[in-house]
Every structure is written in structure tokens, then in C-alpha cells.
Structure 1
Amino acid sequence: MTPGAETKLWQRLADVDLVQGAMPPDDALGTHWAIRVMLGVSAWVAAVLLLGVVGLLLDFHVGDGTLLLVLGGLQVGGAYLLLGRGEAGVFAGQFALALSIAGQLLVLLGLQQLFQWDLRAFGFAAALLEAGLFIAVPGGVHRVWSAATACLALLFAVDELRHTNLWLGLVLGLFAFVWVHEFRLAWRRELIDGLGYGLLLVIALLLASGSIDMGGLRSTFDDWGAPLGGLALGPLLGATLIAVVVMLTVHWTAAQQRLRWPSGGASLWVTGAIVAFASLWAPGIGVAFVVLLIGFAHGNRLLLAVGIAGGLVYLSHYYYALRLALLYKATLLCATGMLLLAARQFSRHSGKQAEHATEVGDA
């Protein structure tokens, strides 16, 4: 492709808000990944050394909330200036990210020193701070960090992450909505991308931490008296919400890909129903399926990788969970696998029938 054609293509993409800013130069696209990694690592080393010097200077003023607040604000402002140039390289971008994270911590510590908040109020303050930085400070990685941190801080402030499955279902629903409708929301592409990947980071952390309830509806029967705002339905609501998100994602994806029942969307709907039922008893299966489905539909390799890795990590936690009987877990996983294989055979058979009907109609 000639340089003129590349410029025209970039302009067309910018007109529909699929890209932002000026087209990157050829040398930026051709930089070897190892060089970029070394630049990023060196930026973090430089930031740590700088912050270490600042920490030594503040050694005798840790209790001064106003000083911490001012210094943290200056660091966040410096990160904003570095990222706001629009053409920040790898070193400047990573240095600004490290500087901003340290500044955010100082701001929150300063506010805590001044107002003496409890943990819940501190969580709400952190969520508000990160939400404001998500909107105000440019930079893709910085927005991912701000979105993920704001989400986790809000979940901790509301419930201290006691009912993880319920909040995981809400985060998963927002994640699916943002990614399925990303092109309709392209008027603020940079915000949508940051929010989407930030929610993905939250989902990956919850799956990898093993903090989600492994039993789903089984936990509802075993622990019916666990309170949730006056209700004893925490595991039930969480598992049901995840199953609903699975079916909504199937519906949105089928509509986006223009798959009609039963010609093109039958196998997708059947697979979604099987996974939704399995997620009632093992919620992580539905979470991994949603990430995988969206990644496959959008051709996003990062989502595919996170979906596969998250599913494997969850299954390893699930299979060795001591709270559930081994026979129960093996039966559920075996039945789910057999049903998915049957759905695959059904999909192949229905596809052959559709091809045969098309050939007969053409003849």
C-alpha cells in the first residue's frame, strides 16, 4: 500500500471514530517488540528511583495530609501533561503511568489523613477519583488501569466483595454490552476501549483469584441463610445473573452476525443454553464462555487468550475445591462436555442439511 493510500485509509477510519490522532510513523510501527519492552521496563525503573527519592524526602512528613495531597496532585498533573501530548512514546507513556499511580496513592493517603474515613468511604473516594481520571487523563493503558481500579474500588465499597458472583455477573453484563456495541459507541472510541479492557482485567482478576463462589446453585442449597441485603439468595442471584448474561450475549452476537434461527443460529443458541445451564452450577464456565464468544466474534486475540486462560484457571480451582464432592464436579463437567459434543454434531448435521437444501433449490 502506498503512503498516499495509507493516509486516505487512516483518514476514513478517523472520520468514523475508529482511530484517533495522527497516523503513526512507519518507524514506530516497525520498532522491535524487545526494544519496546526494554523501554517500558526502563521507564518503570526510572519512575521507581524518582519516587524513592521523593519518599525519602517525605520520610518525616508522612502524617501531613495536605502535603501528600498536593504532591500527589502534582504527580498526576505531570502524568497528564506527558500523556496529553498525543504522541508519547513507550518510555514516556510507561513513566507517566507509574507517576500517575504513585500520585493517586498519595492523593488517597492524603485524603485519608485529612478526613479519617472508614474502609467503605475510602473505597467510594477511590472509585470517584479513578472515574474522574478515566475521563480526564488520555492514554490507553492509563484508562484501562483507571477503569479496572474504579470498578474494584466500587465493588469493595458497596459490598467488600463478599458476594463476588453477583458483582461478577454485573461486571460481565456491562463488559458484554460494551464490546458487542463497540461500533455503535464509536463516538468516544478511546473511552470505550479503555472501559472494555478495564472490565476484562477485573473479570480476569476475579477468575484467577479463586474468590468467586464455586458451587453456584449448590451453594444456595448448602448455605441458604447467608444474608444479602436482607435476602438469603446471594449464590442464586449471582449464578442466575451470569446465566442471563450468557444468553443475552448469544442473542446480541447472533443479531450482530445476522444469524437466524434455525438456519445459522441454532448451534449458537443450543451451545449458549448448555453453557448457561452449566453456569448455574459452575459460574466461571459462563464467564469464560462470554469472553471467548465475544473474542471470536470480533476477531480479538487478546479476548480469546483471556477467555481460554480464565476458563482453565477457573476449572482448576473448581475441580480441586474441597467444598464440593468430586463425584458431583466430575458428573457436571462430563455432562456439560457430552452435551457440547452433541451440539457440535447437531451443528454439523444441520449445516449439511442446509447445504443440501441450497443445492436442490439451485438445481
Structure 2
Amino acid sequence: MSSSSDLWQTLRSASLVEGEMPQHQEPHWATRFMLGVVGWLAALFLLFFLFLSFGDLARSPDQALAMGAALLAVALVLNRRARRSDLWDQFVLALTLAADAWLIAGLVDRMDLHSFAAWAGLCALAFAIAFLFEHWLIRLFHALAAALLLTLALACLGWQALAMPLVMGLLAGCWFWAERRAHQHDRYEAMAFGLALSLLLLGHLHQPLLGEVSLLEELGQPRLPHWLNPLLCAAVLLALLHRLRLPWRQGILALPLVLLAALIPGMGAGALVLLLGFYAGSLGMMALAALLLLGFGSLYYYDLALPLMTKSWLLLGSGALLLLIRALLLRVRSVS
């Protein structure tokens, strides 16, 4: 504290600041935690009251949709008008999630699960909620939901192979918009994290259900070849490398990532998140990239119809290649 006071006095003597040193106004973490708990309790009591009062009406799909829309409108007004605090933030989050649940309950019986327009409309709604609400978690959750709904919409057309490249492009766009528009950085950053999290789930949507067909194939038979997915992911990754304008040495060293993305489905998503994380210095993005690379690499490894000895030789060769790349990177760093 004395060092802070000395620094403030030095700045005052240099006429860089005026007045007394500002006091730390941030509440203790325990206070913030209790306010968050109170916000959730208040929202749950309100929802319990609404369920007891309008529970019979909400069983109708139309009434459930109306209740969800009303709760969503109330949450938006409170988010925009109320004074920002941990209590109100958690209260708004609980109301928004409850509104989502009521909307889903109302749409289940009315919606054609094989309709592209229905899933696309829900995707647009999720993106609109993520854009309108000034709440980091609401933006993250709804950006994640929007990416999954976009995938389901494309599956209805048989275009499952386009889902991951499109989400990767949206992710890169949100990340660059967050850097370009400083006043809206939190909005686009939260949406970018939601899109990155959705990439963890997209690979599992392609996995078979009970050993028969995948969830996406249940909605529509694929009309595009499966090899198109990794090639498009590699193309998006190559476009990102061009957009980042890396030095030629670093660009050449990043080309193996493009080749890996073109060969193994899903690895392009991990490589893109990894490059964005290193470019922006985001530990969160780099952690998600590690999960993506590990997850998709494991799926590819276990899906290979090869003997275990062959897989062992492949792992040994991959380790030797990574060690060689590490030695090359260290050499390039020492030269530069």
C-alpha cells in the first residue's frame, strides 16, 4: 500500500494526476458469490411462482411459447435498464435460461425436426440473443447453441460437411471483430468462445447412434462427400494464415498444420483455435485448442481400421516428427 501511495505522490508531483488516490471499490469475492446465489434464488422463486400460477397454461405449446417470449423480454429489459451488479447479472442469466427452456418446450410439439427453415430460424434467434444481451455467459451459451443449430439446419439439407468450416469462419470473424471494435470487444470475444466450444461438440454429432447412424444423418442423408470437410477446414486455416500476415519462416512452419487439417477431420478446427490463441495471447483459447487437438486426434486414432502394431509405429513416427519440428523451431528462433 505504501508503494502505491508513493507512486501516486510521484505522479501528483509530476502534474500527471490530481486529487487523492482512488480507493479500491471492488467488493470481496465472498460478497460477489453471495450476491450471485441470491440472484439465482430470486429467479428460482419467481419461476416457481409462475409455474404454480400458469403451469396449466404452459402445458399448451402456444402458451409455453408466449411464456418463454415474455420471460426473454423481461430478462432483456432488466439486462439493459437495471444497474449492473452480480445479483442482477445472475438473475438475468437464470431468467434467460428459463425462457430458453420454455421456448424449447413450446417448439418440441410444433416443430418439424427435418425442416431447414425451423432450425435456421432458431439459429438466427440464438445469434440475436447473443448479440443483444450485455452478459458474457449469455452470449457464450447462445453462440454455442447457434453453431449447433446451424449444423442441424445444414444436416436437413444433407450439407453436414459444411458445418465445421462455416463455424470456423464465424469464429475467426468474431475474433477479428473483437480486436477491431474495442467498444464491443466483450461481445465478440464471448461469442468467439462459444463458437470455439461448439467445435468440441460438432465432432461427436457425426458419431453413430447405437452403432447405426449419426444424429446428423438422422436429419438428412449426406449429399456431399466426407473428404470435403477436412479440405474446407484446411482452406479456412490457410486463409487465416494469409490474414495474420505471419513472417515467411513462421508461415512455412505453419504449413504442416494445414496439411494435417486436410488429412484428419477436425484437426483444422484445433489448429485454427490454436493460432488465434497464440496470436491474441489468450490462454483460454489455447486450452480449448489443446482439447480440440487431443479429442479429434483420439477419434481419428480409434477410427483407424489398422492393427495395433501399425498404430504403434504411427505414434512412434508422429513423436519423432514432432521432436524434429521442435528442433527446427528452436533453430529458427536462435537464427532470428
Q: Tell me the TM-score normalised to structure 2 length.
A: 0.76
CA contact (8 A) 1:278 1:332 kept: no
Aligned twin of 1:9: none
Rate the CA distance shift 1:321–1:162 in 2: closer, same or farther, 3 A. Answer: farther
Given the alignment, which residue of 222, 227, 235 partners 1:228?
222
Matching of residue 125 in structure 1 with residue 121 in structure 2: yes
Structure 1 residues 15-49: Cα deviation after superposition (integer angstroms, max 9, x where no partner)? xxxxxxxxxx9333x532x5545544553344334
What does 1:16-31 align with in structure 2 at a 5 Å threshold? 26-28=24-26, 31=28
Rate the CA distance shift 1:143–1:72 in 2: closer, same or farther, 3 A. Answer: same
| Alignment length (residue pairs) | 307
Letter of the 1:189 partner, please give it: H
Aligned twin of 1:295: 277
Out of 277-286 and 41-50, give the one that drifted further: 41-50
Q: How far apart, in 1, do the equivalents of 2:120 and 2:167 lie?
A: 17
Rate the CA distance shift 1:353–1:61 in 2: closer, same or farther, 3 A. Answer: closer
Aligned twin of 1:242: 233
CA contact (8 A) 1:172 1:287 kept: yes
Matching of residue 315 in structure 1 with residue 297 in structure 2: yes
Matching of residue 196 in structure 1 with residue 192 in structure 2: yes
Aligned twin of 1:50: 46
CA contact (8 A) 2:274 2:289 kept: yes
Given the alignment, which residue of 233, 243, 246 partners 1:252?
243
Specify the SS of the correspondent of 2:293.
helix
Aligned twin of 1:150: 146
Q: How far apart, in 2, do the equivalents of 1:42 and 1:131 lie?
A: 29
CA contact (8 A) 2:155 2:222 kept: no
Tell me, which stretches of 5 or more residues in structure 1 are unaligned?
A: 6-24, 215-225, 355-363
Deviation at 1:283, TM superposition (A): 2.5
What does 1:280-359 align with in structure 2 at a 5 Å threshold? 280-321=262-303, 325-326=307-308, 329-354=311-336
CA contact (8 A) 2:68 2:103 kept: yes
Letter of the 2:222 partner, please give it: L
Q: How far apart, in 2, do the equivalents of 1:248 and 1:325 lie?
A: 36
Deviation at 1:281, TM superposition (A): 3.0
Matching of residue 178 in structure 1 with residue 174 in structure 2: yes
Deviation at 1:54, TM superposition (A): 2.5
Aligned twin of 2:64: 68
Q: How far apart, in 2, do the equivalents of 1:326 and 1:50 lie?
A: 57
Specify the SS of the correspondent of 1:320.
helix
What does 1:60-99 align with in structure 2 at a 5 Å threshold? 60-85=56-81, 87-99=83-95
CA contact (8 A) 1:123 1:157 kept: yes
Deviation at 1:213, TM superposition (A): 6.7
Rate the CA distance shift 1:41–1:107 in 2: closer, same or farther, 3 A. Answer: same
Tell me, which stretches of 5 or more residues in structure 2 are unaligned?
A: 1-6, 12-22, 209-219
Deviation at 1:296, TM superposition (A): 1.7
Deviation at 1:156, TM superposition (A): 0.9
Rate the CA distance shift 1:148–1:166 in 2: closer, same or farther, 3 A. Answer: same
Rate the CA distance shift 1:133–1:248 in 2: closer, same or farther, 3 A. Answer: same
Percent identity over paired residues: 28
CA contact (8 A) 2:68 2:99 kept: yes
Q: Tell me the TM-score normalised to structure 1 length.
A: 0.71
Rate the CA distance shift 1:196–1:248 in 2: closer, same or farther, 3 A. Answer: same
CA contact (8 A) 2:42 2:91 kept: yes
Letter of the 1:170 partner, please give it: L
Letter of the 2:238 partner, please give it: M
Aligned twin of 1:359: none
Let me know the Cα RMSD of the aligned residues. Answer: 3.5
CA contact (8 A) 2:265 2:296 kept: no
CA contact (8 A) 2:154 2:162 kept: no
Letter of the 1:297 partner, please give it: Y
Q: How far apart, in 2, do the equivalents of 1:148 and 1:344 lie?
A: 34
CA contact (8 A) 2:237 2:268 kept: yes
Deviation at 1:118, TM superposition (A): 0.5
Specify the SS of the correspondent of 1:290.
helix
